Chain A
Amino acid sequence: MSASRNVPLLEVRDLVVNFYTRGGVVQASRGVSFQVDYGQTLGIVGESGSGKSVAVQAVMGLISTPGRIEGGDILFQGRSLLDQAGKKFVREVRGKDISMIFQDPMTSLNPVFTIGTQITEVLRHHMGMTRDQARRRAMDLLGLVDINAPEKRLKQYPYEMSGGMRQRVMIAMALACEPQLIIADEPTTALDVTIQAQILELLTDLQQRLQVSVILITHDLGVVAQLCHRVAVMYAGRIVEVGDADQVFASPVHPYTKGLIRATPRLDVVTERMVSIDGVPPDLISPPRGCAFSPRCDQAKKDCLRAQALTPLGDDRHVSCWCAIKGDTR
């Protein structure tokens, strides 16, 4: 908190991540930029394979073997996580100041260690706590995520818990060292609908109580509308639109964002029909020239074959679309 507030908590600049596969080089992230401020919740939405997870995994330093970060920079509190000094810095930060919650709680916990061991090892490693201190803190954390009988739970193994319970444990683990940023990568996708609601409620509640920043990755626009201050829409390894969540939902500019919103079922608006977006997501081994969405876009024109960078539209809103920028926002 002492760090200067002039710089954002996290800034990702022109991140390029490639995966080398037998089929070719998959360009998973093609120059992604976004930032997260203190206490802010950023939602990243997009189809599967649009590069959402890759972008945040790069932040956590989790890109490995076939994948490689090949460009751009990631700054946490103004310090790079990718340069020579950053490699040391990232080790201090990871798990302590930035923590992560994964998609599938079934496989994210180590099956052969107790919940207690898995929570306390973070505390003992980052906070230098004794076994006893860590155990007490772990019990508090389980209480924080609404798990009762924490004493008993600490001795249990992941296979003895339900999916929702495990995700709560993951959240408790993520909160252990009082991080400044929590990255939640589709935290509810693998859960039952009723449990989803509970977990999201818990996340919102914790975010507000602890004033922690959150990056929430999801393909559920409803969740973003509910939880997030800002939203970034990703398509084919790029961010196509980013801005204040309410504004983006009220008046989407990029045709893809519009399509996404139209394709989302809503309870409050009855008039609009639910429409799917025609076509399939592009192949990231050889993405289309220029705007990757243009082959599926009903407003595509010649200009769209030239690349269009994210352009400010005022009000902290950025869009990469020729139509939108020329004021042609039909």
Chain B
Amino acid sequence: MSQTNADSLEQALEQHRHEWVEKLFELGRELKRDKAGLVGVMLITALVLMAVFAPYIAPHDPTDQDLTARLAPPVWYEKGTLKHILGTDHLGRDVLSRTIHGARVSLWVGAAVVLLAGGFGVVMGLMAGYLGGRTDAFVMRWVDTQVAFPGLLLALIILAVIGPSLTTVVVVLALNGWMVYGRMTRSAVLSIRQSPYVEAAEVVGCRWPRVIFRHILPNLTSPLLTLGILEFARIVLAEAALSFLGLGIQPPATSWGLDVAMGKNYMFMAWWLVTIPGCAIAVTVLAINLVASWLRLISDPQEREKQFARHMAGAMRKKMHATIKKELEAP
């Protein structure tokens, strides 16, 4: 008896694994079809690898100063050297190395803020949506009030008073951004709660933690994932802006925003100081946005159907042109 039980469990697990592999393959196939999404995923993978292995990839220590080689141009200029492929800044630090290391800060801040704000927001939203009544009223009033705050100004002041650092930047950005998750989770919970299967679970006598974790949360994953990724992009930009204003990451740490701010003073003689870290931010955010829009597309069957219809419409238009051409060419 127990033997068969174990067997069936194993089988179930096996099947489960198959489903996962199958899903991953399916995702891969989807990705092959959507080139923009593919580019986004590849870029992000590259960025993450770059951030993780920064010390091994970067040719120099990002804080190493070489005052004899200040403001050296990139390698393709006459004065450029292979030692500093993308040139150096006003203190002779290697721009390429700083850019590689900058990815660490951007991605770390992005991930930390999304996890913190997302975690808090989702918990608040779940409580508001599921418990309802006074909890709901309180949380939603809180959200409404905080949404109406001049968030960035408050963030700037708090950072100025407490003192900017990696941790304070993360905390301040998380405190500023949890409301979106809260609102979305709450409205999703409200609509899912009214669906028959959740009502059934409640009637059967499931206690609320079980209902939330077994029945409600799984339905929230794909919208939350999309939102989280979009927020990630926003946070990367926000961190860059804060660092640019001098209220984010502080030297000697490296951040793309900080590098742009420092390069600003040498903008007219050393364009690469501003351009390269700026491009790094833009490429990172663009990649994240591409992935987010691809995810949104594949998680919405209706949207996929529409996309296909559009594709077909385009193809049909093209085909028509071809036939019209053929007809014109025929004598």
Provide the B18-56 mask, 1 if CB < 8 A to any CB of A, else 0: 000000000000000000000000000000000000000
Residues of A within 8 A of B309 (CB): 20-21, 65-66
Q: Is B310 an interface residue (CB 8 A)?
A: yes
**In the assembly, what is the distance between CA of A68 and CA of B308, in Å?**
15
Name B312's closest neighbour in chain A (CB-CB).
A20
Report the minimal beta-carbon distance from A16 to chain B, rounded to whole angstroms.
14
Residues of B within 8 A of A65 (CB): 309-310, 313
Q: Is B304 an interface residue (CB 8 A)?
A: yes
Residues of B within 8 A of A306 (CB): none
Interface residues of B in 211-232 (CB under 8 A from A): none
Q: Is A22 an interface residue (CB 8 A)?
A: yes
**In the assembly, what is the distance between CA of A68 and CA of B305, in Å?**
16
Interface residues of A in 48-103 (CB under 8 A from B): 65-66, 68
Name A20's closest neighbour in chain B (CB-CB).
B312
Q: Is B316 an interface residue (CB 8 A)?
A: yes
Provide the A280-320 mask, 1 if CB < 8 A to any CB of B, else 0: 00000000000000000000000000000000000000000
**Pair B305/A21 contact, Cβ less than 8 Å:** yes
Provide the B291-331 mask, 1 if CB < 8 A to any CB of A, else 0: 00000000000001100111011001000000000000000
**Pair B305/A22 contact, Cβ less than 8 Å:** yes
**In the assembly, what is the distance between CA of A21 and CA of B311, in Å?**
10
Residues of A within 8 A of B304 (CB): 22
Interface residues of A in 2-28 (CB under 8 A from B): 20-22
**In the assembly, what is the distance between CA of A65 and CA of B313, in Å?**
6
**In the assembly, what is the distance between CA of A21 and CA of B309, in Å?**
6
Report the minimal beta-carbon distance from A26 to chain B, rounded to whole angstroms.
11
Residues of B within 8 A of A21 (CB): 305, 308-309
Residues of A within 8 A of B305 (CB): 21-22
Report the minimal beta-carbon distance from B51 to chain A, rounded to whole angstroms.
38
**In the assembly, what is the distance between CA of A322 and CA of B83, in Å?**
87
**In the assembly, what is the distance between CA of A165 and CA of B174, in Å?**
51
**In the assembly, what is the distance between CA of A20 and CA of B308, in Å?**
8
Chain A's interface size range is under 10
Report the minimal beta-carbon distance from B101 to chain A, rounded to whole angstroms.
45
**In the assembly, what is the distance between CA of A66 and CA of B312, in Å?**
7
Residues of B within 8 A of A20 (CB): 308-309, 312-313, 316
Residues of A within 8 A of B312 (CB): 20, 66
Report the minimal beta-carbon distance from B308 to chain A, rounded to whole angstroms.
4
**In the assembly, what is the distance between CA of A20 and CA of B309, in Å?**
6
Report the minimal beta-carbon distance from B29 to chain A, rounded to whole angstroms.
14
Name B305's closest neighbour in chain A (CB-CB).
A22
**In the assembly, what is the distance between CA of A65 and CA of B314, in Å?**
9
**In the assembly, what is the distance between CA of A248 and CA of B293, in Å?**
55
Residues of B within 8 A of A66 (CB): 309, 312-313
Report the minimal beta-carbon distance from B258 to chain A, rounded to whole angstroms.
48
Report the minimal beta-carbon distance from A177 to chain B, rounded to whole angstroms.
32
Report the minimal beta-carbon distance from A25 to chain B, rounded to whole angstroms.
9
**In the assembly, what is the distance between CA of A20 and CA of B312, in Å?**
7
Name B310's closest neighbour in chain A (CB-CB).
A65
**In the assembly, what is the distance between CA of A22 and CA of B310, in Å?**
11
Residues of B within 8 A of A22 (CB): 304-305, 308
Name A25's closest neighbour in chain B (CB-CB).
B312
Provide the B247-286 mask, 1 if CB < 8 A to any CB of A, else 0: 0000000000000000000000000000000000000000
Interface residues of A in 243-287 (CB under 8 A from B): none
Residues of B within 8 A of A68 (CB): 316
Report the minimal beta-carbon distance from A283 to chain B, rounded to whole angstroms.
17
Report the minimal beta-carbon distance from A22 to chain B, rounded to whole angstroms.
4
Report the minimal beta-carbon distance from A114 to chain B, rounded to whole angstroms.
31
**In the assembly, what is the distance between CA of A65 and CA of B312, in Å?**
8
**In the assembly, what is the distance between CA of A65 and CA of B305, in Å?**
12
Provide the B41-76 mask, 1 if CB < 8 A to any CB of A, else 0: 000000000000000000000000000000000000
Name B309's closest neighbour in chain A (CB-CB).
A66
Interface residues of B in 65-99 (CB under 8 A from A): none
**In the assembly, what is the distance between CA of A65 and CA of B309, in Å?**
7
Interface residues of B in 158-205 (CB under 8 A from A): none
Provide the A197-233 mask, 1 if CB < 8 A to any CB of B, else 0: 0000000000000000000000000000000000000
Name A67's closest neighbour in chain B (CB-CB).
B309
Name B315's closest neighbour in chain A (CB-CB).
A20
Name A64's closest neighbour in chain B (CB-CB).
B313
Report the minimal beta-carbon distance from B86 to chain A, rounded to whole angstroms.
46
Report the minimal beta-carbon distance from A213 to chain B, rounded to whole angstroms.
33
Report the minimal beta-carbon distance from A282 to chain B, rounded to whole angstroms.
21
Jot down 18 A-B pairs with beta carbons below 8 A, ordered by A: A20-B308, A20-B309, A20-B312, A20-B313, A20-B316, A21-B305, A21-B308, A21-B309, A22-B304, A22-B305, A22-B308, A65-B309, A65-B310, A65-B313, A66-B309, A66-B312, A66-B313, A68-B316
List the 6 closest pairs (A to B, CB-CB), nearest first. Answer: A66-B309, A20-B312, A22-B308, A65-B313, A65-B309, A22-B305
**Besides A66-B309, A66-B313, 5 new A-B residue pairs in contact (Cβ under 8 A), listed by A number:** A20-B309, A20-B313, A22-B304, A22-B305, A65-B310
